[in-house]
Amino acid sequence: MRSTTPNDVHAIADAVILDVREPGELAQARIEGTLDIPLGELVERVEEVPSDTTVYVLCHVGGRSAQAVQYLESRGVDAVNIDGGIVAWHRAGLPVTLGGAS
């Protein structure tokens, strides 16, 4: 399984980021412009994931995204795990929207 750092993903113009966290987690902290599909819904919603580009997968710290990457790879999607998840993304000082949107 391939993985990369938050800084490397942020440097990619128009990177497709799949966030597999739950809605409650997204309400606390999220990255604008992500494709949001909770891990538990990924099998049913896999058709929403682009198959013609690399997809960078994010969760809280990296466990669920690793599972999602393995599943997506089995479906022929070029998927890469983002090491450390949203926690590492935030710690790297990259843009995160904190708090719920009304």
pLDDT of 102 strictly over 70: no
20, two tokens: 């597999």
Q: What is the set of domains in the chain, with CATH numbers?
A: 3-98 (3.40.250.10)
CA angle 53/57/63 to nearest 5° reads 150
- Residue 60 neighbours by CB distance under 10 Å: 19
- Terminal alpha carbon distance of the chain: 37
Contact between 58 and 34 (Cβ < 8 Å) = yes
pTM of model > 0.75: yes
What are the residues facing 18 on neighbouring strands?
A: 35, 57
Residue range 46-98, pLDDT digits in tens: 999 999 999 999 999 999 999 999 999 999 999 999 999 999 999 999 999 99
Active site amino acids: 59
Alpha-carbon span 4 to 24, nearest angstrom: 25
